[in-house]
């Protein structure tokens, strides 16, 4: 997966990951770090195999690794990190001469199920939700995803 290797050393990608890390330094909830991104990538790959989808492994990894790179912008400005991540991802992918449309569409819609229109987008949406260890989180009662008393369910 040569393009994944290139992404992992790309200066802009590393800068955005450092900005995420700084923005989430004191965060008690799930973080948007390398661990989360690789978890999403691995689960996405498994889900695609289970669903017999012909999505290249490298495409899934690139999508998963880029899907939260603008989380820092959301903390800073309130902007939708999915939309912002899609924009930043497009710049990086173009710099790496990788076709960006399908990947950026999946990233742009990864937070809202009703927006998802492609198999890659559905896999990203599902895997992003599936990797969260909500059921064992000591902070679940104050998490924005479960403030109404709803308990997490597993989608895998």
| Per-residue pLDDT at 154 exceeds 60 | no
DSSP for 25-66?
A: TT--S---SHHHHHHHHHHHHHHHHHTT----HHHHHHHHHH
pLDDT digits (tens, 9 = 90+) for 97-143: 999 999 999 999 988 878 888 999 999 999 988 877 655 556 556 65
Round to whole Å and give the CA distance between 88 and 139: 31
Q: Which domain holds residue 92?
A: 2-22+30-142
Distance CA 85, CA 32 (A): 12
Q: Give the CATH number, domain containing residue 120.
A: 1.10.3210.10
Give the model's pLDDT for residue 139.
59
Tally of domains in the chain: 1
pTM for the model stands at 0.85
pLDDT at residue 121, rounded to an integer: 94
**Considering the domain boundaries, does residue 78 fall inside one?**
yes
Q: Is 96 among the domain residues?
A: yes
| Domain presence at residue 154 | no
Average pLDDT (10-25) is 93
Q: What percentage of the chain carries pLDDT values higher than 70?
A: 81
């Amino acid at each position: 997966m040569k393009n994944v290797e290139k992404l992992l050393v790309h200066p802009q990608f590393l800068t955005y990951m450092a900005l995420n890390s700084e923005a989430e330094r004191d965060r008690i909830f799930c973080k948007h770090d390398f661990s989360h991104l690789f978890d999403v990538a691995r689960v996405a790959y498994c889900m695609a195999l289970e669903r017999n989808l012909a999505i290249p492994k490298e495409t899934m990894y690139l999508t998963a690794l880029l899907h939260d790179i603008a989380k820092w912008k959301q903390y800073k400005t309130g902007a939708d990190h999915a939309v912002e991540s899609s924009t930043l991802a497009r710049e990086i992918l173009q710099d790496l001469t990788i076709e960006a449309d399908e990947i950026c569409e999946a990233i742009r819609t990864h937070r809202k199920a009703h927006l998802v229109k492609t198999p890659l987008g559905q896999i990203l949406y599902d895997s992003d939700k599936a990797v969260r260890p909500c059921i064992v989180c000591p902070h679940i009662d104050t998490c924005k995803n479960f403030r109404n008393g709803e308990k997490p369910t597993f989608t895998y």
